[in-house]
Structure 1
Amino acid sequence: MPPLPRLSLAAWSAAALVALVPTWWAWEERLAPEGLPYIVGLVRPYPRFSGTPVLTPLLTHLGAVATAAVTWALPAVLVLAGFVGRLRQANPEAAARRVAWGLVTLAAVRSVSADFTILVLSPEWFADVAGQWGPDQLCYLLAATLVLLAPPGRPSHPAPALQPLGLRAAALAADYAIFLVAWGLVDLLLDGRYRPRSGLLFSWPGLRLEDLALVALLFLYVWIPRGTTPGKRLLGLRVEGAGPGKAALRALLFPVAVLWPTYGLLWLALDVLWSFVDKEGHLLHDRLLDTSVRCSTSRMT
C-alpha cells in the first residue's frame, strides 16, 4: 500500500474535528443551568398536537436519531470509520462520497422541523426549516467538503458494487410510513376514527399490550417477505441469502433496537457504521448472517 499523502491525512483529521464541534456545543448546552427553559415553559405552555399524520411522527423520530447521533459524537466517528474504509475498500473515492452523503444527510435532518403545531410541507413549515440552519449544519457541510477534497492517495481498483446504503435508508423510511398508515387504518376499522400516532419508538417501562401487538406485527411485516419489504420493493431492492431462520433474526433486530431506549439507536448506528469499514459495504447484521441487499435486475438495467 502506498504511503498516505500528508494532505489527505490532514483533511480527514480536520473533517473529524469539525464534525465533533456540534457535539461539544451540545454537551455545553446540556451541562449549562436549565433555569431559563423552565421559566419560558411557565410563560408559554406546550401547545396541543395538531401536526400531520405519518409525516410528523417520521420527522420526530428522524430528529431523535439525529440528536442521539450528535450527543454521542457519531458524525466524528463516521468520519473515522470512513477513513478506515478508505484504506480498506477498493474504491477510496466511493468511501469518501458515502461519508460526505452521511454528513450532508445529518445536516438536512437536523434542520427539518417536526413541530407539532405546524402542518408538514406547508409554507410555514418550509420557513421554519430554513430558520433551523445554523452553525451545526455548516460544520457538517464543511466536514463533508474536506472529505471530498482529500486526495485519494491510491488508485481505485475494480471491485463489486458497494451495498446501496442510501436506497436502504429510503426504503426504511418508506416502510415506516407504510406501517404507520396501516396502523392508523386499523384504528379506523376498530374505533371508527383515525388517530395520529406518535410513532414506533418506545421505552420498556411504558409498554402496553397494544404496543407488544404492534411489535409482533412489525416482526411479521419484515419476516413474511423474508426481508424484502414493500419499501425495499418500491426502491428496487431485494434481500439475498435469507432463509426462514435468517429472515427471522433480521426481522427481530429493528423492533429490539427501537424498544431499547438510547442504546437501541446506538446499535443501529454501529450497524450502519460497520458498512463504512466493511470491504463490500455490508451492514453488520448482514455480515454476521451472511446475507446481502442488492438492487433488482430491473433497476440495474
Structure 2
Amino acid sequence: MPAVSAWVAAAALAAVPTWELWRERWELENGEGSFEIHGCVGMLGGEEWPLSTLRDDLSRVVETAEGWAVPALAVLLGLLAYVRGKDHEVVGRRVAVLLVLTAVVEPLVPMYSEPGSCGQTIPLLSADWFRAVLHGWGSNQLCLLLAAALVYAASRTATREKPVEEGTGTAWRRAVAALIDYLVVVAALRAVVEPAWSLIDQGYIWVFWFRQGLLGRLGDVLDSRVKPEELLALSALLLYFWAQHTLWGRTLGKRLLRLRVADARTGERLGAGRTALRTLAFPFLAFVPDVGLVLLLAAGLGAFLDAGGQVLHDRLLGVAVVRHRPRHTAPEGAHAGG
C-alpha cells in the first residue's frame, strides 16, 4: 500500500537525527573524524532569564528525544493507528506537528558563542543569534520536515465513514497553558523565593540557579546535590499546581486558555487527594534514576497519540482536561486529557 510505504519512509527519515547523534558520539569516543563547535551547550550565558531557563530545559528534552529515537517511534506508533484504522487522521496530524516542532526547536536550544570564543555567548533574540540559528539548520531539519509531510499526506489517504472529532480541540491550548505555567513558576521562584532566601543566607547567589532549567534541578535531587533551599523551591512548584487544581480546577495558564481539570465521568472538580496523586505523577516519573526524562517523554508521547489526549495516569485516576465554559453556556462535549 502506498500510504504504508509513506509511513515507513517517514520513520526512516525521522530516525536520521538519532543516527547522527550516535554516530557523533561513537566518533568522539573512538577518536575518529573531526567536528566543528557551533555552540557551547550548558554554559552560563548572559542574563537572559527566563528564556535561558526555558532553553536549558528544552535542550535536555530535545537531546533525550533524539537519543531515544522518539520522532521515529512516534511515526511507527502513528503507523499502527493507521493500520488499525482508528483515529488515524488525528494521530497523523499530531505526529506531523511533533516532527515539525522537533525540527524547529533543535537549532534554538544551543548556547551559541561568539566566533573563536566560548566565553561570550550570543544574547538570545539578537540579530547575531537569529543568524546563528539559521546556520544551525541542516540535514536533520530537512529529514524531519520531509517526514512530517509524508505522515500528513499518508494520514489523509484512508476513507472514513464520519468525520473524526479531536476531543474538544484542547491540544494546542494545553501546550500553551503549560508554557505559561512554566514561566509563571520560574518568575515566582525568582521574584519571591530568591529575595526571601537572600535575607537568610547572604552568601548564596541565586542568579546561577535560574540559568539552569527545572529539569536540571530534578537531576540534582537524584544526585543528592540539591540544597535545602532549592528543595523548598521545587516543593513550591508542586504546591503551585496542587493548590490551584484543588481550589479552582485550573492554574493561571489553564485559566487564560479556558481549560480546567475535572472528573472524566462527572465533570466536577477533583478532590484534594486525587489532585495530589495527579500532581505527584510528574516528579514520580522524573525521579526514576537514569531514565526519568525518558519516562516523561513516553508519557507525553502516549497522550499525543491518544485520540482523547489523556496521559496514562489521568486515565487511571479518571481525570480529564476539558474546555471551561460558564454554567449558563451549552454543556461540554467530549473530554480531552493532558
**TM-score, normalised via structure 2 length:** 0.77
1:83 matched to 2:79 = yes
1:153 matched to 2:181 = no
Residue 261 of structure 1: how far off its partner (Å): 5.3
Residue 249 of structure 1: how far off its partner (Å): 1.2
Alpha-carbon distance between aligned partners in 2 of 1:126 and 1:144, rounded to the nearest angstrom: 24
User: Could you tell me whether the CA contact under 8 Å between 1:56 and 1:114 is conserved in 2?
Assistant: no
1:56 matched to 2:75 = no
1:174 matched to 2:196 = no
Q: Secondary structure at the match of 2:46?
A: coil
Give the alignment partner of residue 200 of structure 1, picking from 205, 209, 214: 214
1:291 matched to 2:291 = no
1:124 matched to 2:152 = no
Q: Secondary structure at the match of 2:49?
A: coil
Give the alignment partner of residue 211 of structure 1, picking from 227, 230, 238: 230
Q: Secondary structure at the match of 1:32?
A: helix
Alpha-carbon distance between aligned partners in 2 of 1:40 and 1:91, rounded to the nearest angstrom: 44
Q: Which residue of 1 aligns with 2:303?
A: 275
1:104 matched to 2:100 = yes
Unaligned runs of 5+ in 2: 113-120, 200-204, 264-269, 333-338
Q: Which residue of 1 aligns with 2:284?
A: 256
Residue 215 of structure 1: how far off its partner (Å): 2.3
Alpha-carbon distance between aligned partners in 2 of 1:156 and 1:106, rounded to the nearest angstrom: 33
Larger proportion of helix:
1
Alpha-carbon distance between aligned partners in 1 of 2:147 and 2:133, rounded to the nearest angstrom: 21
Alpha-carbon distance between aligned partners in 1 of 2:148 and 2:21, rounded to the nearest angstrom: 20
Q: Secondary structure at the match of 1:294?
A: strand
Alpha carbons of 1:89 and 1:280: their partners in 2 closer, same or farther (altered >3 Å)?
A: farther
Alpha-carbon distance between aligned partners in 1 of 2:83 and 2:300, rounded to the nearest angstrom: 18
Alpha carbons of 1:33 and 1:57: their partners in 2 closer, same or farther (altered >3 Å)?
A: same
One-letter amino acid of the counterpart of residue 73, structure 2: V
User: Could you tell me whether the CA contact under 8 Å between 1:270 and 1:284 is conserved in 2?
Assistant: no
Residue 27 of structure 1: how far off its partner (Å): 0.8
**TM-score, normalised via structure 1 length:** 0.86
Residue 164 of structure 1: how far off its partner (Å): 2.7
Q: Deviations over 1:229-253 (max 9, x none)?
A: 2122222221111322221111112
1:188 matched to 2:195 = yes
1:9 matched to 2:4 = yes
Give the alignment's Cα RMSD to 1 decimal. Answer: 3.0
Residue 160 of structure 1: how far off its partner (Å): 4.6
Alpha carbons of 1:142 and 1:156: their partners in 2 closer, same or farther (altered >3 Å)?
A: farther
Q: Secondary structure at the match of 2:158?
A: coil
User: Could you tell me whether the CA contact under 8 Å between 1:111 and 1:132 is conserved in 2?
Assistant: yes
Alpha carbons of 1:277 and 1:100: their partners in 2 closer, same or farther (altered >3 Å)?
A: closer
Give the alignment partner of residue 239 of structure 2, picking from 210, 215, 220: 220
User: Could you tell me whether the CA contact under 8 Å between 1:218 and 1:255 is conserved in 2?
Assistant: no
Residue 7 of structure 1: how far off its partner (Å): 0.8
Alpha-carbon distance between aligned partners in 2 of 1:130 and 1:137, rounded to the nearest angstrom: 11
Q: Secondary structure at the match of 2:28?
A: coil
Unaligned runs of 5+ in 1: 1-5
1:229 matched to 2:235 = no
Q: Secondary structure at the match of 1:224?
A: helix
Comparing 286-295 and 154-163, the one that deviates more = 154-163
Question: How many equivalent pairs are there?
Answer: 293
User: Could you tell me whether the CA contact under 8 Å between 2:181 and 2:251 is conserved in 1?
Assistant: yes
